[in-house]
Structures are given as structure tokens and as C-alpha cells.
Structure 1
Amino acid sequence: MESVEPVTDGRPRRRRGWRIVLIILLVLALLGVGGVVAGGLYLRSVESDIERVDAFEALPQEERPQVVAEKAMNIMILGSDSRDPEQMSGSRTDTIILAHVPQDRKSAQLISIPRDTWVHIPRSKDGQNGGRTAKINAAFAWGGVPLMVQTVERFTKVRVDHVVMVDFAGFTEIIDALGGIDVNAEQTFTSTHAPYRTYRKGVQRLDGEAALDYSRQRKQFPDGDFARIRHQQQVIKGILDKAASGGLLTNPAKLNDFLQAVSSAVSVDKKLSLVDIAAKLRHLRGGNLTFMTSPTRGTGQVGTESVVFADDEKAKTFYDAVRRDAVPEILSTGR
């Protein structure tokens, strides 16, 4: 197993965030282990420090998808990396994941929706934006979380139960606290960002800074942003696997530092209860997760914009399975 060695250029290394959008789910799942009263009380104290966002109250309720599988749960996770060298505006979310947790709570499916997916965006509440097709992440810039929820619900026909927003700045410390994570690079490549690390093909250990950098890489790959999504998914799984096996739960100091860092970087909707979610997700581990990407027909151009086109027919079938809580059945049958 190799460690990544950056090619330095004499410039000081800046502290950067990382795009691990499942981090809050990891925390909730870990805290659910054991179900002790003290853990619940501590979780409530952490919960009080987390910022709340109004995700649903402004939505036209009559237009929202109906709930089909009442005990299943769908969580929209939005992430931004404001320190990304390529990030031109902090107002757009560059990571969109719909996390589906079946009613039996034995697994979870994480569905990445490419940020450039060309969809219809409803008109914003102020009437100034939307009402037309655009890249899906424009919804956040035009109408914040409510318009993002409305856009994803209209695109997928799946009702969103909760929203988690992650600001990744400063989260490298969490991976470092775990002693790094392991990823399996599909090929040898060099980062396009300083300090221009070289990642070797195969399994290698990454610290927090390297994991952030790895999750950003896309220009070296023929499928571009889809490679970035794969790298994000690899890092998410690496964190889950390392946290589950790295003694985090048995080290109170480590766990406290971990949770405090998370609470400062996460916002959730007003109705999300960390205590309830922790109990529901207590059995989740890396092996229980399936990473998926929303069905697409590939990329293309609309005017001057490079976009991702959804495969409407496949997406309709796929998201119907999500709505009916039948995704595990599809995965097991291969249909």
C-alpha cells in the first residue's frame, strides 16, 4: 500500500475543506450504537449547536410528491466546497445526493445527481428566477434550499423527508483524526491543483488534505464530472469503513472532537431529530451502502454550457423504485 507524496512547489499549504457529504449520516449511525441514555443526552447537546434551515415551509405543498412508502426515508444532502480552486461562486451547491434509507433500515442507497444535470427549475418564490430549464445546481443559487428541494422533487418525483447541508471547509481534521483513509485509485494520475499530488493506481492511504484533493479530480478522466462523483463515493466509503474499524467509538476524546467539528459544519432542516435518526441508522456501515448515479444519457452542449442529460425513461423507472422503496429488490434481481 502506497502513501501519496505531494510534489511541493515551495508555497505554503492552505487548509482546505473536503466534500464528504455523508459525514452527518456517519455521525448519526455511530452514535446510534448501543443506544445508551448518556449517548442520547450528549447527542441532544450536540443537536442544539447545529444550525437549522427552513427547507419545507415555503414549498407549495399541493405540488409535492405523495408519500408512498411511509416508513422509508429520503434525505437530500447538499455539499459545497467554497475553497475549491475551481469554485467561482459560493452560492451553488456542487454535490447533490439523495440518500434513500429503506423501511427495514438494513441498508442505504446513495444516489448522486450530477450538478450539471439539465432539468426544469420551478420559479423562485420572489419570481425573479427559475421557471425554465437549467443546470440543477442553479436552483440553490436562485432560491436557496426550498427551491433546491422543489427542483429535486419535481425531477425525481420522490418526496424529500429531510435536508442536510455540509460546509466542507475545515473538515480535513476529521480524516486526520481517523489516521487517514484508504482509497483504490483506478489509474495513476497527477492532481490539477497545487501541490500537484500524484495518486498511484491501487489502494493507498490519504490524509485529510489529500482526500479533499482526490475527491475534486475530474479533468484527467474522459468522463469528467462522473469521475469526480466516483472519487467522492470512494472517500465516503473510506471514512465509513475506517470509522467503524478505527476505534472511534471506544475513544471518547476522539469522538467528541469528531462530533464538535461536524456540528460546526452542518446545517439541517428544522424537523430533523438527530436522536431519532441515530436510532434508525445505527446499523449502517460501509458494507451496507450502495453508491449509485442518477441515470443519464451522457454530456452535451446547450448553447455555451456543458451539461448532463438525464435518461428520462430510465430515471422514471429508477425513481419510481425509490418512491416505492423497491431499490433493494432491483439491486438483487439486476432489473
Structure 2
Amino acid sequence: MGLTLAVLSVVLGLGAAELAVLAGRVDRLDVVLPDGPGTTWVLVGLDFRAHLPAGTTSRDFGTTAQVPGSRADVILVVHVAASGTTMLSVPRDLVVAGAATPGRLALSWLDGPQSTVDALCGIGIPTDHLVTVDLGGFAAVVDAAGGLEVDVPAPVRDPQAGLELPSAGRQHVDGRTALAMVRSRHPEELVDGAWTPATVDPDGRAAMAGTVLGALTDTVRRSAASPWRAHALAWSASAALTMDRHTGLADLGSLLRADLGRPVVLPVGEPVGGTVTRFATPETHAAVEAAGMSCAG
């Protein structure tokens, strides 16, 4: 699940009346969008400590002084062309040169949305539509949906992310826990009665985004028959989303009609020298080209 695509899936499942409510409440971004073939959506889940999930404090996530500004925590790219639809999850720790301040993609948002859009263009990914959601907004939408049903293969925790799932199997989680699943970077698993660091997959965060997205999409579809639930979802989603000024309801409808499936993680190099930093490889550029994307910016 990407945070943004998960919330967007809620929006796309709403009726015309609920969409009309949303249209008047979403915030807008001023950004110049580079052109490319087909239609490309860039969906960004923001790590912004000024808007935390309900029931949490700065002790759970850090203060705005400790973690200033917004970071691009999860980046999903949906490219729609006549030949089909491709959805890529772009690793946040990819080093990009096109940003205002060269460095990791996650940090490009500190210089504003234009920096992130330009950074993606630098690796061949254009942006026709830009949509974002922050931590608090995502958790609120999950709670408005009544929580999620997820399958946990083993007991897992990550104190730094606020994740605590002491039992395995199918279980119901609230917005705060769903968010922690996506944000977890240092998971521990319960092995023979002791919490043990799990094997860390550098693409684990991106892959977990797809898992939670699927769970939320299923929940939204089941909730569609309940008018009061649909209204609660519309209200939460409208407060959670921010879009560029040129994206409207008709555009959201076109994304609804696309066959999204699950995201594929964009291949990049392994973390360098014990850090989280990763670099683009020939496979990175080949995957972007194979999806039919190129950037004219």
C-alpha cells in the first residue's frame, strides 16, 4: 500500500455526492508538471510530524523540531497508456540528481513538491497528476473505514515505528497500526519466545505498501453499501488528500477505470556501505523505459 494510493482508492470508491463534497475540501499544490507519453500519476505518502494520527504524541513520531519539514515516505507511480497500466513503487532511499538539493528521493520534498517532481523526471518519470496524503490523514481514513483485516505471518514489533503485533494470523488493525506496518524499518520477530531482529528487505517498505493497499481497497468495497460509512470515508479522505491544481474529478475517474493491480518495486542498487543510500542501475532505467515512460522536463 502506498499511503496515497490507499486513500485515493477510498476516494475512487465513493459516489458522485461524496466526490462533490471532497472536491471542495482538498488542498492544492502549485507545481509545474513535466510532460511525457501517456498519463502518469505520482502518488506520495508524506512523513509530516505536524499532523500526527489520533491517539499518538510527538513521543511516538518525534517533534517537528527533531524531524522538520515533510519527507516523501512512499512514492507510487501509475503510468496509463494504450498498451496497459504499470504501477511502480519507487524506493525512497534512491539517490536522485534532479532535485533542488541532490540526495535521497525522500528528502527532495524538503525543498517542496517541485523538487520531487523534478527528481523523478531525472530518472525518466514524468508527472501529469500529483496527489499526496500525510501520516495523520492515512490513519484517519483507515479508522473511518472501520479498520483493516490483515494476515500477519509471524508476531512482529518495531518500537521505532510504533508497531506491536504479538500474535500471527488474520487480525483486525486500526489506522495507527496500519500506518506502523507501512513505516516499519527495523522489525523484530518473536522466535522461541525472544524478540529477534528480522531479516531486513531494503524493498520491504515498498512491498508492504502494496499489502496494506489491498486490504484497504477490500474494506472500502465492502463498505460501499453503507451510506453512513461512505460519508465518513468521504469526509476523512477530503481532509487527507492534496492534489495539483489541474487534477479534477474527471481525472480521478479515469484512474478508477485503469486496471491497477499491485505495485512492482522499481529495481535499484543495493544499500551502499551499511547505509540506506541506493543508486539507480541500468535495470532502473530499463524498467522505466519498459513501462513506456520518458520525461521531457
- Count of aligned residue pairs for this structure pair: 273
Provide the residue aligned with 1:91 in structure 2: 69
User: What secondary structure sits across from 1:146 in the alignment?
Assistant: helix
Structure 1 pair 289–264 and aligned structure 2 pair: CA distance change class (3 A): same
User: How many Å separate the matches in 2 of 1:25 and 1:147?
Assistant: 23
**CA displacement 1:135-160 (0-9 Å, x = unmatched):** 1222211x2001110011112x1211
**CA displacement 1:216-235 (0-9 Å, x = unmatched):** 22213332553233222211
Structure 1 pair 233–240 and aligned structure 2 pair: CA distance change class (3 A): same
**Identity percentage over the alignment?**
19
Provide the residue aligned with 1:75 in structure 2: 42
- The amino acid that maps onto 1:277 is D
Assess if the C-alpha contact under 8 Å between 1:105 and 1:283 holds in 2: no
Provide the residue aligned with 1:145 in structure 2: 113
User: What secondary structure sits across from 2:75 in the alignment?
Assistant: strand
User: How many Å separate the matches in 1 of 2:89 and 2:142?
Assistant: 22
Aligned match of 1:264 in 239, 245, 248? 239
Q: How far 1:310 sits from its partner (Å)?
A: 3.0
User: How many Å separate the matches in 1 of 2:254 and 2:219?
Assistant: 21
- Whichever of the two has the greater Rg, that structure is 1
Segments of 5+ residues of structure 2 without an aligned counterpart are 53-59, 188-197
User: What secondary structure sits across from 1:164 in the alignment?
Assistant: strand
- The amino acid that maps onto 1:213 is A
Assess if the C-alpha contact under 8 Å between 1:74 and 1:100 holds in 2: yes
Q: How far 1:207 sits from its partner (Å)?
A: 2.0
**2:93 is the alignment partner of 1:119:** no
- The amino acid that maps onto 2:277 is V
Provide the residue aligned with 1:296 in structure 2: 268
- The amino acid that maps onto 1:297 is G
Aligned match of 1:164 in 106, 131, 135? 131
Q: How far 1:172 sits from its partner (Å)?
A: 2.9
Q: How big is the alpha-carbon RMSD for the aligned residues of Structure 1 and Structure 2? A: 3.0
Assess if the C-alpha contact under 8 Å between 1:21 and 1:95 holds in 2: no
User: How many Å separate the matches in 2 of 1:213 and 1:115?
Assistant: 17
- Map 1:225-304 onto structure 2 (within 5 A): 225-244=202-221, 246=222, 248-273=223-248, 275-283=249-257, 288-301=260-273
Q: How far 1:101 sits from its partner (Å)?
A: 4.1
User: How many Å separate the matches in 1 of 2:272 and 2:151?
Assistant: 29
Assess if the C-alpha contact under 8 Å between 2:183 and 2:205 holds in 1: yes
User: What secondary structure sits across from 1:229 in the alignment?
Assistant: helix
Q: How far 1:196 sits from its partner (Å)?
A: 6.0
Provide the residue aligned with 1:26 in structure 2: 9
User: How many Å separate the matches in 2 of 1:138 and 1:324?
Assistant: 23
Assess if the C-alpha contact under 8 Å between 1:297 and 1:310 holds in 2: yes
Segments of 5+ residues of structure 1 without an aligned counterpart are 1-17, 32-38, 125-129, 326-335
Structure 1 pair 218–322 and aligned structure 2 pair: CA distance change class (3 A): same
Q: How far 1:252 sits from its partner (Å)?
A: 1.8
Q: TM-score, normalised by structure 1?
A: 0.71
- The amino acid that maps onto 2:40 is M
Q: How far 1:290 sits from its partner (Å)?
A: 2.0
Structure 1 pair 40–182 and aligned structure 2 pair: CA distance change class (3 A): closer
